[in-house]
């Protein structure tokens, strides 16, 4: 029997499904999300897509899930009730934080409240020095005292973050074992396992976040695994990580903070896959759904990563794809006008476009826009709707500049890849505002995150704080540390069933000018450093610093801060399929679309009828089950052999 891979992405509005057969057979489905219990939408969608494909659920031998359970718990601060155990004298680390302001010139900017009250921060009298030396041992009476405090507090999760435990975790491990022995029902997270790196505030914040979301994530994944058996699916469950890799379900339950950006990561993988499939190696992906927009830059076919991310304003220092998220999307309806209402009233969307996915009601859209915006401002419905679109687009353009211009990249050198149910409608306006000359819309942009997950591999990240001047003399020292990380990574992948040919290893160094409080991450080639590599790495660091910050200090000493290793276990990939369809697809008809202050009679094309070689000119509307694509006057469009719609925009002219 044909075997299938199934990817599931839970979004704020819809849960998306992509089913791929080993012979290239492909099916998609969408199910309204069920925020109160996300698994209900997952189970309903599985039954739907299996029936649609006409297969037995037992033929699915791989399930990958991107979930928002951890994300929502952080954003809504509705995770587990937890306690934090820290070194005596350091209980205020997460309350003091850094001096950074959320918005430099906004005097009313408020930092998010701490994730736990101060009375649940408990202290133990111990001290490990920065070189790993134990200055004050952790006494048994201290252990017993804190266990009593934890039990009396009534918490369900415990975070343990002791001073300098990244270099010597002995006290953290002792505390964890003692708590698990006396209070086995509690969830325990220690910083030396989740993030063995220096910088106490970020390490504490990351540990607290994991403790916050771990019980909720553990419960959700366990119940989902149990419920999957009722559908007839026998596959093991895998979970998408924030770094674009895959975790097994048990690993995701234990290190839940690693799946905080689980869903958006799939969209980035879709962009990386498209960059590898086509000649467009520089992409800006923009994934706009029902509640938010996720933006990422892909350069030379590779996505950017960061270890300085945050969720809801809380530092999360685990490796993750460098995704910038803003509030933007369709919306689920209600009294306030939405982007959907504006597009509907301008004729860019039609109720028939989303038949079977969502019911659109023009009369309610007109009332919301008229009463809330048009009437008070003395505008027609069309003028008010265009205003809504301009405001939303301006917000999205600012966000796209953050990942491009402010990182030293010129957006005119990139292709815009619009994903999600909403972004293909806005793509041309966004591209024109940024000077982007080309847009690439994949065959199924509305389920791009789920589709991208099908190209993921199992991935693990390891780090080790090791501060030393970057000189030829440290080669042997660095090689020895990497050898230990390599061995750990190889053992973990082998335990998961990967053979040596399926394993890959990538090494990185966090480097800074001596005395700096921030660093840049550079990849290093080969299996071991030699002296000749050092000057090459230093020159690359200077160039990268110049690109990111506008200056470099070529005579200043450079130092290594952290060693990083990424391991990957190769999983079966998407089989690229040549697209079929008509080169001369004719319009289904026309409709009135309001563009630039006037109505235009615009042809409407069905995406499923369009094949390689098809060409047309804007204005036009291209409809499909999961999205609608809008072309403006002056745009030219064609379909490539993979079924991607490529739009050559009439870009606005800017002076260099």
Give the pLDDT of residue 652.
55
Of the pLDDT bands very low, low, confident and very high (cuts 50, 70, 90), residue 618 is confident
Residue 122 near residue 84, CB atoms below 8 Å: yes
Q: Which of 212, 233, 249 is the last residue of a domain?
A: 212
Report the alpha-carbon distance of residue 651 to residue 38 in Å, rounded: 41
Report pLDDT digits (tens) over 33-55.
898 889 999 999 999 999 999 99
DSSP string for 296-345: EEEETTEE-EESSEEETTEEE-S-EE--EEEE-S----SSS--HHHHHHH
Residue 593 near residue 503, CB atoms below 8 Å: no
Ranking 316-330, 350-364, 495-509, 515-529 by mean pLDDT, the lowest is 350-364
Cα Dmax for the chain: 81
**Closest-CA residue to 69 (of 115, 112, 18, 9):** 9
Does 174 lie in the same domain as 27?
no
Q: Which residues does 181 contact at the CB level (< 8 Å), separation at least 6?
A: none
Three-state SS across 416-447?
EEEECCCHHHHHHHHHHHHCCCEEEECCCHHH
**Closest-CA residue to 134 (of 96, 173, 97, 160):** 173
37 is a domain residue = yes
Of the pLDDT bands very low, low, confident and very high (cuts 50, 70, 90), residue 351 is confident
Q: Which of 512, 532, 559 is the last residue of a domain?
A: 559
Report the alpha-carbon distance of residue 626 to residue 638 in Å, rounded: 20
Give the pLDDT of residue 653.
46
Does 268 lie in the same domain as 231?
no
619 is a domain residue = no
Give the pLDDT of residue 651.
64
- Residue in the structure block whose two tokens are 């952080």: 74
What is the DSSP-derived secondary structure letter of residue 582? B
Does the structure show a pLDDT above 90 at 68?
no
* CATH code of residue 40: 3.30.420.40
Does the structure show a pLDDT above 90 at 526?
no
Residue 614 near residue 606, CB atoms below 8 Å: no
Does 22 lie in the same domain as 89?
no
**Closest-CA residue to 230 (of 57, 82, 456, 357):** 57
Give the pLDDT of residue 324.
87
Does 138 lie in the same domain as 193?
yes
Does 97 lie in the same domain as 64?
no
Does 436 lie in the same domain as 372?
yes
651 is a domain residue = no
Does 305 lie in the same domain as 253?
no
541 is a domain residue = yes
Average pLDDT over residues 58-64: 91
Cβ–Cβ contacts within 10 Å for residue 184, how many? Answer: 8
Share of the chain above pLDDT 70, in %: 95
**Residue 416 phi, psi dihedral angles, 5° rounding:** -85, 125
Total domain count, the chain = 4
Does 205 lie in the same domain as 125?
yes
Three-state SS across 359-377?
CCCHHHHHHHHHHHHHHHH
Does 296 lie in the same domain as 402?
yes
372 is a domain residue = yes
CB neighbour class for 215 (10 Å; exposed up to 12, middle 13-18, buried from 19): buried
Q: In the structure encoding, which two tokens stand for residue 196, read together?
A: 């063995």
In terms of residue numbers, what domain contains 179?
78-212
Cis before 139? omega within 30: no
Give the pLDDT of residue 582.
66
Give the pLDDT of residue 654.
42
Q: Which residues does 100 contact at the CB level (< 8 Å), separation at least 6?
A: none
Given the DSSP bridges, would you call strands 121-124 and 292-299 parallel, antiparallel or unpaired? unpaired
Does the structure show a pLDDT above 70 at 581?
no
Does the structure show a pLDDT above 90 at 363?
no
Does 140 lie in the same domain as 53?
no
Tell me the average pLDDT of the chain.
Answer: 90
582 is a domain residue = no
Ranking 78-87, 226-235, 324-333 by mean pLDDT, the lowest is 324-333
Three-state SS across 27-51?
EEEEEECCCCCHHHHHHHHHHHHHH
Give the pLDDT of residue 347.
92
Does 290 lie in the same domain as 398?
yes
579 is a domain residue = no
Report the alpha-carbon distance of residue 264 to residue 323 in Å, rounded: 8
Does 234 lie in the same domain as 132?
no
Give the pLDDT of residue 514.
93
This prediction has a pTM of 0.89
| Residue 445 exposure: Cα atoms within 13 Å on the Cβ side | 31
646 is a domain residue = no
Report pLDDT digits (tens) over 231-287.
888 888 999 999 999 999 999 999 999 999 888 899 999 999 999 999 899 999 999
């Amino acid at each position: 029997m044909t075997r299938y891979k199934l990817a599931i992405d839970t979004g704020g509005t819809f849960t998306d499904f992509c089913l791929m057969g080993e012979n290239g057979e492909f099916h998609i489905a969408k199910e309204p999300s069920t925020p109160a219990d996300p698994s209900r939408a997952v189970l309903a969608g599985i039954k739907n897509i299996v029936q649609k494909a006409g297969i037995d659920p037992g033929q699915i031998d791989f399930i990958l899930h991107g979930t928002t359970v951890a994300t929502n718990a952080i954003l809504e601060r509705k995770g587990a009730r937890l306690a934090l155990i820290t070194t005596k004298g350091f209980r205020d680390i997460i309350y003091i934080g850094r001096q950074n302001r959320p918005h430099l010139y906004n005097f009313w900017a408020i930092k998010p409240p701490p994730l736990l009250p101060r009375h649940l921060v408990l202290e133990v009298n111990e001290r490990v020095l920065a070189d790993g030396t134990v200055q004050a041992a952790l006494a048994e009476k201290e252990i017993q005292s804190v266990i009593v405090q934890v039990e009396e507090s009534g918490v369900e999760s415990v975070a343990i973050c002791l001073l300098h435990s990244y270099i010597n975790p002995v006290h953290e491990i002792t505390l964890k074992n003692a708590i698990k022995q006396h209070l086995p029902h509690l969830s325990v997270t220690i910083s030396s396992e989740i993030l063995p790196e220096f910088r106490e505030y970020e390490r504490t914040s990351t540990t607290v976040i994991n403790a916050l979301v771990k019980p909720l994530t553990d419960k959700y994944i366990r119940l989902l695994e149990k419920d999957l058996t009722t559908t007839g699916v026998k596959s093991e469950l895998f979970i998408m990580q924030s770094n674009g890799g895959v975790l097994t379900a048990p690993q995701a339950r234990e290190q839940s903070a690693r799946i905080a950006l689980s869903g958006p990561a799939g969209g980035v993988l879709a962009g990386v896959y498209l960059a590898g499939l086509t000649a467009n190696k520089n992409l800006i992906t923009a994934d706009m759904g029902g509640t938010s927009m996720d933006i990422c830059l892909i350069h030379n076919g590779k996505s950017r990563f960061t270890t300085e991310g945050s969720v809801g304003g809380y530092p999360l220092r685990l490796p993750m794809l460098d995704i910038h998220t803003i509030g933007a999307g369709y919306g689920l309806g209600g009294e306030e006008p939405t982007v959907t209402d504006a597009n509907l009233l301008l004729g860019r969307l039609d109720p028939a476009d989303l038949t079977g996915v969502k019911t659109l009601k023009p009369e309610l859209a007109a009332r919301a826009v008229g009463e809330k915006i048009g009437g008070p401002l003395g505008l027609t419905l069309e003028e008010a709707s265009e205003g809504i679109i301009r405001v939303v687009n301006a917000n999205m353009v600012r966000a796209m500049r953050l990942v491009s211009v402010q990182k030293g990249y010129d957006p005119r050198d990139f292709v815009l890849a619009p994903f999600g149910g909403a972004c293909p409608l806005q793509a041309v306006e966004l591209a024109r505002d940024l000077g982007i000359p080309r847009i690439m819309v994949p065959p199924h942009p509305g389920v791009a995150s789920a589709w991208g997950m099908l190209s993921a591999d199992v991935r693990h990240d390891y780090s080790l704080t090791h501060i030393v001047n970057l000189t030829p003399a440290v080669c042997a020292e660095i090689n020895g540390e990497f050898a230990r990380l390599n061995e750990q990574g190889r053992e973990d992948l082998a335990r998961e069933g990967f053979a040596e040919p399926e394993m890959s290893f990538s090494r990185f160094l966090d480097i800074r000018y001596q005395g700096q409080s921030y660093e840049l991450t550079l990849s290093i080639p080969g299996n071991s450093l030699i002296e000749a590599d050092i000057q090459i790495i230093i020159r690359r660091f200077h160039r990268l610093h110049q690109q990111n910050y506008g200056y470099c200090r070529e005579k200043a000493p450079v130092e290594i801060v952290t060693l990083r290793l990424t391991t990957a276990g190769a999983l079966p990939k998407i089989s690229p399929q040549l697209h079929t369809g008509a080169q001369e697809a004719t319009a289904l008809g026309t409709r009135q679309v309001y563009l630039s202050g006037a109505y235009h009679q615009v042809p409407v094309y069905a995406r499923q009828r369009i094949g390689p070689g098809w060409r047309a000119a804007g204005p036009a509307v291209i409809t499909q089950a999961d999205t609608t694509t809008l072309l403006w006057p002056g745009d030219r469009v064609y379909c490539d052999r993979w079924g991607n719609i490529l739009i050559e925009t009439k870009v606005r002219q800017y002076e260099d």
